[in-house]
A and B are shown apart, each in its own frame.
Chain A
């Protein structure tokens, strides 16, 4: 098993000097052929999307017979030596989870991993920005053991009592490839954007099928909460998730490396900040004045972008 995990690590590829994003994608036990196939396909798809994204992205994906507790422990042991504090770390769990009233378990071939086991595996990972996306059934029960300051925890269900197989994983992966998920169109998909996209699609799935929703996704990024359905960065929840870049979708980051364009980029950044500030003041402003100022700032920002594109 150790050999398998190390073979997976070999896929990580060479490191570059800038901060990297590590993705660990684990596909659990399906229980029957249909779920085995579905989970493996989702793992493959997520892996493919991550590998194709811009920036320094390191991906390890394990599913089926390879995703055992022993193999996963070995993988995390290796990762704890490689991942640095400035890196970002994402753990995506796909499969079935269970909850016996006391403990959440991620179902694997052989012994399962409890939420406490997962927390212990994550503990030596030094990345200051961490995201755990647990898309399994009963995943809501994993929030408490997994949460900690600096870590975002996303779950498919609101508690351990929502035990039916989930569809959240499908939409979370869809968020990684659908440009529509990048709500602010800044060519960076944040954890918050992906959560909102997948949450909305999951809710619509149950509505359109006229089925009672058996999963209610939560996001916890304060390190002390129970998770919320509708995070609001202005109110505290979702603030960390809003700044966690999951994927870089375009060439925006390349521009940052061109010294000739840095002045324009600085201006762009300033304008974006001014727009954000203006939006925060909107409720207290006269509507016509708000519109006038917003138009002026947006036109200026559009011109700066035009310059950057030249």
Chain B
């Protein structure tokens, strides 16, 4: 597991162990990676973060167009693997969680422990720390900076 924010590590470790997910990724709504577990290549993290942020953004836009309020989790259930993607509010803005899980767990278990992960993150987030605005023009730099921190490159 690699994290940019040290206080994220304990809640995410607990989530991975309890929910028995194979891959977990926490990112901001702009795709800036905060922590990852289970990825072995930086390219995979970059792709997952970009796609995850994009899916959440487009789902929100659809909800807005339909005047449907907000959608919750986005779930894709395949025969061997499932993907759970869920935006949630943190003190500094919206974050997105992405989890990939296999038949050794279930959507209900993942959803249950994701709720606990969010509670833990909100509780442990430093309140006084200034939140850095992630501007569109710095997106790529932020992403690369995150990846360097996560993979030691």
Q: Indicate, yes or no, whether A interacts with B.
A: no
List chain B positions with a Cβ less than 8 A from chain A. none
